[in-house]
Chains A and B, each alone.
Chain A
Amino acid sequence: MAETAIKVENVSKLYKLGYVGSGTFRDDVKYYFDKLRGKRSEAELIAETNDREHKGNSEYVWALKDINFEVKHGEIWGVIGKNGAGKSTLLKILSKITSPTEGSVKYKGRIASLLEVGTGFHGELTGRENIYLNGAVLGMTKSEIKSKFDEIVDFAGVERYVDTPVKRYSSGMTVRLGFAVAAHLEPEILIVDEVLSVGDAEFQKKAIGKMQDISAGGGRTVLFVSHNMASVRKLCSKGLLMRNGKIAMIDDIERVVDNYLSSEAKQLFKQEWELKNAPGNDFVKVKKVEVKSANNHTLQNFDVKTPLEISIEFYNNYAISDKVYASLHFYSQEGLCLFDIGSEIKSMSNGIVKSTLHIPANFLNDGSYFINFNILDASGPKLLFSLNECLAFDITDARHDDLGYFAKWQGVIRPTYLPFTTEQV
């Protein structure tokens, strides 16, 4: 049994909503007075759990509530969860940036936290001066930095510019320099926030490699927070899922990621109605809408390599029945319409009509999407009925492991099958 490296016991963190300090002087005095008398302040009693989606009644919120976990020496944990689930607050407490309202955190070993790359960089100073500055901020001594200086410069690939002020660096160079310093820290416990999502592909490959060396070689304990499931899966062995300021799950990383993907995102794979309460009007009524994997109909975790089938079934009571067709609007979560496509117009008699759209594998990029359906009369064309946001689903990333690029792939779509040839001319 390995030794415990981090032990988190009953950690809670209380936040006050709204502006702190403006016009709340009286509240502050009351809060401290309550504290002074050793009782739980009124604030703590009325505070609510951290749930963004419901408007609460209290001004106070538990950003974290009763967090307990224990990380063994040498383990690599991935911390995942939606925005606002408490990941950052937990990270700030673990890295001593803010203190918990209750509970305690215990460490065994030297800790370093990396919540940002290049913390403390000063634009007017040269690369050399900034390596010392940043290294010292992260807790290295001058002699430690000196002994690793050449390695750092080499890793960042900035030999030529080491005596140039950092304000003249490109943003990529600044990030590389920052990561290079951080990568040469040698803590026993490392707490890392989403730092891999920066830099170009080549650098990311290097950074991931370095992270793996760190965790594999030195038997180091790592806590890694990320939104990127691909990198979490690759780097971590255990996962911690946060939800509304509480721990939702601690388990093997694969299981935690699956749980997160299926539970956290708002997903609507299928809707079906009885004729009597079906949405629609005298012309058409919708019976069923559905999205599924074309390969495996039970699969509900789509990734970019999954071919999809999106279908709508409706009762066609329209007089000019042979002119009815469906159109599908494909939206990204941000509300951008990726495409608008009409179904085949075919002579149909009244009754149930089904239109199915096939989306090939490797066409969509990863992201969250929703679907609107319109049913139209082609002779107008005239809109008969529309059904908005009736399907919603996520498409997750899937890449070749050896690519080593883990940032969000750019673009709205990712049609990797398009021929992009290379030849010698």
Chain B
Amino acid sequence: MPDQNEWTEVISPKTSLLDLKLAELWKYRDLIVIFARRDIIASYKQTILGPLWFFIQPIITSLLFTVVFGNIAGISTEGINSFLFFLASQICWSYFSSSLNGNANIFVSNAGIFGKVYFPRLAAPIATTLSNFFRLIIQLALFLAIYFYYYFIKKDVSIQPNWQLILVPYVLLLMTFLGLGLGIIVSSLTTKYRDFSNLMVFGVTLLMYASAVIYPVSFLPEKYQYYIRFNPIAAAMESFRYAFFGQGTFNITDLIYSTVFAVVVFFAGLIVFNRIEKNFMDTV
């Protein structure tokens, strides 16, 4: 008879809250990459333009924003070329929102696989985030190309890159934590109460209007400028744009607040996810 220590695996009802089984997750790293690849490939299969859609989508959206919010509604972009302003905002925001949306559905959309085979469940949200990150990198390259065109060739004076550029990866990391953390919290709740998936349908759009995506914070009346500081995404958006354009508000306190918020949300998400994943097949 082997004694307790020799078992390769023990399944029991109770585990600690933060037992994330990272070693096991590492063993499944190939799966994470394959999942992420699947998401990316599947999104442009049977299209003529293929991966070009990664570029078309932010450009069209930004053009639309420029016309609607910039020209028609007349939202000031603090002297920044409004197409560049909206392109930067749009890329940064869509990274967050697609990560949030993707992860918010993670249990429901993967119920088929989760119900038939075991693998560390965290692989799914990580893969979703990874595929969104890949898209972000491509779009960021596009943005930089256009950005440099305006800066070096058109000599656009409204563009003033500054030292905050080194914070760009950090801001994107914040967005990652926020998107992943909030997403898996929502998805964990959705397994039981589908109300949350209804909420998500318009919630993300509402959040966009409340997150300084289509306007700079300075555009708001004083009173609202105070409230928007409670939105951790707004500070990230502002910092992201500030780094490239040197316009707007860059406030280190707000960024620290966002950081704390993102870390708390991320760990809360992990804990909730960890609790739900064991029995979600019974409730989903």
**Contact residues of A with B, CB < 8 Å?**
3-4, 7, 15, 20-21, 25, 28, 92-111, 113, 115-116, 119-120, 122, 124-125, 129, 132-133, 136-139, 141-142, 165
B2-23 interface (Cβ within 8 A of A): 2, 6-13
B118 contacts the other chain (CB 8 A): yes
Within the complex, what minimum Cβ distance (angstroms) separates B282 from chain A? 6
Residue in A25, A107, A165 whose beta carbon sits within 8 Å of that of B7 in the complex:
A107
Bound complex: CA A7 to CA B10 (Å): 9
- Interface segment among B41-49, B59-67, B69-77, B176-184: the answer is B41-49
Bound complex: CA A225 to CA B135 (Å): 43
Bound complex: CA A108 to CA B46 (Å): 45
With contacts A4-B1, A115-B117 taken as known, whether A107 is within 8 angstroms of B42 at the C-beta atoms is: no
Please tell me if the beta carbons of A119 and B117 are within 8 angstroms of each other in the complex: yes
With contacts A122-B38, A125-B42 taken as known, whether A97 is within 8 angstroms of B115 at the C-beta atoms is: yes
B283 contacts the other chain (CB 8 A): yes
Give the total of B residues in contact with A, Cβ under 8 Å: 39
With contacts A20-B282, A141-B30 taken as known, whether A105 is within 8 angstroms of B113 at the C-beta atoms is: no
Please tell me if the beta carbons of B13 and A101 are within 8 angstroms of each other in the complex: yes
Residue in A100, A124, A132 whose beta carbon sits within 8 Å of that of B13 in the complex:
A100
Please tell me if the beta carbons of B117 and A98 are within 8 angstroms of each other in the complex: no
Please tell me if the beta carbons of A15 and B8 are within 8 angstroms of each other in the complex: no
Question: Mind listing 30 A-B residue pairs with CB under 8 Å?
Answer: A3-B2, A20-B283, A21-B192, A28-B192, A93-B11, A95-B117, A96-B118, A97-B117, A97-B281, A98-B282, A99-B11, A100-B13, A101-B13, A103-B13, A104-B13, A106-B7, A107-B7, A109-B8, A110-B8, A120-B112, A120-B113, A120-B117, A122-B38, A124-B41, A124-B45, A125-B42, A136-B34, A137-B113, A138-B117, A139-B119
Residue in A25, A113, A129, A132 whose beta carbon sits within 8 Å of that of B118 in the complex:
A113
Q: Collect the chain A residues with CB atoms within 8 Å of residue B192's CB.
A: 20-21, 28
Q: Collect the chain B residues with CB atoms within 8 Å of residue A28's CB.
A: 192
Q: Which of B31, B45, B194 has the most CB of A within 10 A?
A: B31
Q: Collect the chain A residues with CB atoms within 8 Å of residue B151's CB.
A: none
Q: Specify the chain A residue showing the minimal Cβ separation from B7.
A: A106
Number of A-B contacts (CB under 8 A): 114
Q: Collect the chain A residues with CB atoms within 8 Å of residue B42's CB.
A: 122, 124-125
Bound complex: CA A313 to CA B283 (Å): 55
Within the complex, what minimum Cβ distance (angstroms) separates A3 from chain B? 6
Q: Collect the chain B residues with CB atoms within 8 Å of residue A4's CB.
A: 1-2
Please tell me if the beta carbons of A104 and B11 are within 8 angstroms of each other in the complex: yes
Q: Collect the chain B residues with CB atoms within 8 Å of residue A92's CB.
A: 281
Binary contact track B236-249/A, C-beta < 8 Å → 1, others 0: 00000000000000
Please tell me if the beta carbons of A108 and B8 are within 8 angstroms of each other in the complex: yes
Please provide the 6 A-B residue pairs with the shortest distance between their CB atoms, ordered closest to farther: A96-B118, A136-B31, A124-B45, A104-B12, A105-B11, A142-B30
Within the complex, what minimum Cβ distance (angstroms) separates A20 from chain B? 5
Binary contact track B250-281/A, C-beta < 8 Å → 1, others 0: 00000000000000000000000000001101
Q: Collect the chain B residues with CB atoms within 8 Å of residue A138's CB.
A: 117
Please tell me if the beta carbons of B1 and A98 are within 8 angstroms of each other in the complex: no
Bound complex: CA A132 to CA B30 (Å): 9
B114 contacts the other chain (CB 8 A): yes
Q: Collect the chain A residues with CB atoms within 8 Å of residue B155's CB.
A: none
Q: Specify the chain B residue showing the minimal Cβ separation from A15.
A: B282
Please tell me if the beta carbons of B13 and A95 are within 8 angstroms of each other in the complex: no
Bound complex: CA A120 to CA B119 (Å): 12
Q: Specify the chain B residue showing the minimal Cβ separation from A124.
A: B45
Please tell me if the beta carbons of B12 and A95 are within 8 angstroms of each other in the complex: no
Bound complex: CA A257 to CA B266 (Å): 52
With contacts A105-B11, A106-B10, A109-B8 taken as known, whether A136 is within 8 angstroms of B116 at the C-beta atoms is: no
Q: Collect the chain A residues with CB atoms within 8 Å of residue B118's CB.
A: 95-97, 113
B193 contacts the other chain (CB 8 A): yes
Residue in A21, A109, A129, A136 whose beta carbon sits within 8 Å of that of B41 in the complex:
A129
Residue in B31, B45, B116, B279 whose beta carbon sits within 8 Å of that of A125 in the complex:
B45
Within the complex, what minimum Cβ distance (angstroms) separates A19 from chain B? 10
With contacts A138-B117, A141-B30 taken as known, whether A111 is within 8 angstroms of B9 at the C-beta atoms is: yes
B230 contacts the other chain (CB 8 A): no
Bound complex: CA A165 to CA B45 (Å): 10
Within the complex, what minimum Cβ distance (angstroms) separates A41 from chain B? 13
B28 contacts the other chain (CB 8 A): yes
B206-232 interface (Cβ within 8 A of A): none
Q: Collect the chain A residues with CB atoms within 8 Å of residue B113's CB.
A: 119-120, 137
Residue in B2, B116, B282 whose beta carbon sits within 8 Å of that of A116 in the complex:
B116
Given contacts A3-B2, A107-B7, A124-B41, 19 further A-B pairs with CB under 8 A are: A97-B281, A99-B12, A99-B13, A106-B7, A106-B10, A107-B8, A107-B10, A111-B9, A119-B112, A119-B113, A119-B117, A122-B38, A125-B42, A129-B38, A129-B41, A136-B31, A137-B31, A139-B28, A142-B34
Q: Collect the chain B residues with CB atoms within 8 Å of residue A124's CB.
A: 41-42, 45-46
Q: Collect the chain A residues with CB atoms within 8 Å of residue B194's CB.
A: 21
Within the complex, what minimum Cβ distance (angstroms) separates B118 from chain A? 4
Residue in B12, B35, B38, B114 whose beta carbon sits within 8 Å of that of A97 in the complex:
B114
Bound complex: CA A95 to CA B117 (Å): 7
Bound complex: CA A102 to CA B34 (Å): 35
Within the complex, what minimum Cβ distance (angstroms) separates A271 from chain B? 43
Q: Collect the chain B residues with CB atoms within 8 Å of residue A100's CB.
A: 11-13
Please tell me if the beta carbons of B117 and A137 are within 8 angstroms of each other in the complex: yes
Within the complex, what minimum Cβ distance (angstroms) separates B133 from chain A? 19
Q: Collect the chain B residues with CB atoms within 8 Å of residue A119's CB.
A: 112-113, 116-117
Please tell me if the beta carbons of B283 and A21 are within 8 angstroms of each other in the complex: yes
Q: Collect the chain B residues with CB atoms within 8 Å of residue A7's CB.
A: 7
Please tell me if the beta carbons of B119 and A137 are within 8 angstroms of each other in the complex: yes
Please tell me if the beta carbons of B41 and A97 are within 8 angstroms of each other in the complex: no
Q: Collect the chain B residues with CB atoms within 8 Å of residue A106's CB.
A: 7, 9-11
Bound complex: CA A107 to CA B4 (Å): 10
Q: Collect the chain B residues with CB atoms within 8 Å of residue A133's CB.
A: 34-35, 38
Please tell me if the beta carbons of A99 and B278 are within 8 angstroms of each other in the complex: yes
Bound complex: CA A408 to CA B246 (Å): 73
